[in-house]
Amino acid sequence: MSPANSTKNQAAAKSSQPGVRSFIKPTFIHSPWAPAILGVAFVIVAILIGLLLGTVTDFGYTRMAQILIMMVLLLGLGVVTGTAGMIALCQLSFAAAGALVVEYMSLYHIGDYFGQWSFFFYMICGALVAMVMGLIVGLPALRLRGVNLAVVTLSLAFVFDITIVGIGFPAQKTGTFIERPFGIDGSNDAPALGATALVILVIAAAIAVGIVYLQRSRWGSSWKMVAFSERGTASAGMNVQVAKLSAFIVSAGAGGLAGGLFEMIFRQGVTTVYGPYASLVIYVLAAVVGSYLVDMAFFGGILSVIIPFILTRLSWPLYIGDMLFGVLGIQALTTGSNLGEDIRRGIRKRGRAAKLEAIADIPREAGKIASVPIPQGTGKPLLVVTDLGVQFGAVSANSHVNVTVTEGTILGLIGPNGAGKSTFIDAVTGFLPQHTGTVAIDGLVIDKRSPSFIARNGVRRTYQQDRVPSTLTVGAYVRFVTGGKATRAEIDEVLDFFECPTYYSPLSLVDVGTKRLIEVAAGVAAKPKVLLLDEPAAGLDHEQHIAFGERLRQVPTKYGVTLLIIEHDLDLVRSVCSEITVLNFGEVLASGSQEAVLSNPEVLKAYMGETELL
């Protein structure tokens, strides 16, 4: 056999071996054009269905338009409640604001600069007003969560309801109707309603595509990160307050546009449509179907129209539909699931994802990597912590701690449980701003600065607890942590270096130990000046520990990232650290070279039962 054939056979054998790294490959849905293409396809299919059903009695173009308007409302609400994990009970208040602005501007010809296109200018103005309201409503979310936030948003819905009842819709008060765009006739016959429904269809599809692109962006990743871990979000350099407020603003903007669409089809606002009770019902519907998913938002729109239609046909009271939504809502909120996720989970169990889960459970063999010596650094002080102190009441978690991390090295921070190691990292990274002493990174003092500011200026960290959300893919998570600055090639390279799953792999299929590696890989890919690793090897077996240590030793030289590592596995500490600092009861017990520290009698005494490990 020729060497060439031998090489090909070896490569083929290697590629055929099952492994975590190869279980997801890009498909059409991962394409950047997929949302736009699917949006166009949705419009085409809806037009064909409309041609078939548009003239059917009691199920015409008006109801089709209502379905699309409800889809937009549910999609907007899904940004806050589903993607960002917060509660908002005033979505129809935003719609009312958008409708009121459109009606006033149209009736009194305010800003009538664009002829037949002016209606869309009115809609944009209405959406902007709604977004300002969303910003105001979102402010309490910066400090409130759960029931408290629900009470505040519902109270604001009542306030706006009282206000809008007092002001009233001008067309309703005067008994007039506004004009539709493009000179579409104001009558309720099939051609006029069909043309209006077509315009609403195109706008609703455009809004849905826009929200999908937002969910794929860094903003969307920040919403998912905030829902899972606010600390993890801040540690990636994203301002948590901005992430939360942006979710409310986008949600409100979608609500305002939905209000404009309502005006387009009905030409006159009705105050009872936008009451707080209706906002409660739409929130429950969003929770039941999982309206952050586009298909389920559309399905929710169908339910919102079909159920009242059926109840009316049966001569049953409409509140039965609300009771049904209420029961389903309780089930959804108590189980933490929804119809959309349940359907997807069922499909995955029968199809490809069941295979992926099996592959994800296959033990991963540590890949071979060249051994390099422990990095010695440049000698330049990079992270300098001076006289750090953290007090919790009468308890001193850190006291007069002095640590200097030299550029290009790996510093080990060790000590018994409860020694104050994680508290030290919390203080350095801004999560305990009440600390005393000073912290400087490359000469920049970062005392009392926010965690996101500190992360953006070169100090990143990982966590003992899982801060990697299962709602993202591996690539989306790494891209978010790097702030979008790393190229696709750079992300793929660092994932390959740490033997992580591939770019499109869902994090929901990844075990805890692998998530730790992905978190480290993302931190390295962000290229901070210093990366603080808090027990990064937890969940790895002995062979993986060895391979992980080999890779860590290369990080300072290969990626230009200096490391500080907290780790209880002293074999790993020995293999990667040139210098070690030992904390005991919040104070520095010893600091210096690896050999000097690990042979220090005081260190041996502090570890007590762990002496044999030293």
Evaluate if residue 55 carries a pLDDT over 90: no
Taking the CA of residue 43 as centre, how many other CA atoms within 13 Å lie in the half-sphere pointing to its CB? 18
* Per-residue model confidence (pLDDT) at position 10: 38
| Top-confidence residue, 243 or 168 | 243
* Per-residue model confidence (pLDDT) at position 497: 92
3-class DSSP state for residue 191? helix
* Per-residue model confidence (pLDDT) at position 323: 81
Range with lowest mean pLDDT among 270-274, 476-480, 515-519: 270-274
Domain boundaries, the chain: 53-275, 381-458+528-613
Q: How far is CA 366 from the centre of its chain?
A: 31
Q: Starting from the edge strand earliest in sequence, which strands make up the sheet with 436-441, in order?
A: 395-406, 381-392, 436-441, 444-445
**pTM of the full structure:** 0.86
* Per-residue model confidence (pLDDT) at position 543: 78
90, 276 contact by CB (below 8 A): yes
211 φ, ψ (degrees, to nearest 5) = -65, -40
Taking the CA of residue 270 as centre, how many other CA atoms within 13 Å lie in the half-sphere pointing to its CB? 7
CATH class of 381-458+528-613: alpha beta
3-class DSSP state for residue 447? coil
Evaluate if residue 397 carries a pLDDT over 70: yes
Q: Select from 470, 471, 472, 563 the least CA-distant residue to 520.
A: 563
Q: What is the pLDDT of residues 317-353, one digit of tens each?
A: 887 877 887 787 777 777 777 788 878 777 766 555 5
* Per-residue model confidence (pLDDT) at position 368: 54
> What is the rounded CA–CA span in Å between residue 505 and residue 406?
36
How much is the average pLDDT of 203-223? 94
Range with lowest mean pLDDT among 349-363, 523-537, 579-593: 349-363
Evaluate if residue 514 carries a pLDDT over 50: yes
Evaluate if residue 362 carries a pLDDT over 50: no
* Per-residue model confidence (pLDDT) at position 273: 87
* Per-residue model confidence (pLDDT) at position 529: 95
Q: Starting from the edge strand earliest in sequence, which strands make up the sheet with 410-414, in order?
A: 459-461, 530-534, 562-566, 410-414, 579-584, 587-593
| Top-confidence residue, 151 or 473 | 473
**Residue 15 CB neighbours (<10 A):** 9
What is the enclosing helix (H) or strand (E) of 584?
Answer: strand 579-584
* Per-residue model confidence (pLDDT) at position 445: 94
Q: What is the pLDDT of residues 121-175, one digit of tens each?
A: 999 999 999 999 999 988 888 887 777 778 888 888 888 878 887 788 888 888 8
Average pLDDT in the chain: 84
Buried b (16+ CB within 10 A) or exposed e, 298-313: bbbbbbbbebbeebee
Taking the CA of residue 384 as centre, how many other CA atoms within 13 Å lie in the half-sphere pointing to its CB? 11
- In degrees, rounded to 5, the angle at the alpha carbon of residue 425 between the alpha carbons of residues 419 and 429 is 160
* Per-residue model confidence (pLDDT) at position 277: 84
Q: What is the pLDDT of residues 434-457, one digit of tens each?
A: 899 999 999 999 988 999 999 999
Q: What is the dihedral of CA 515, 518, 523, 524, to 10 degrees?
A: 150
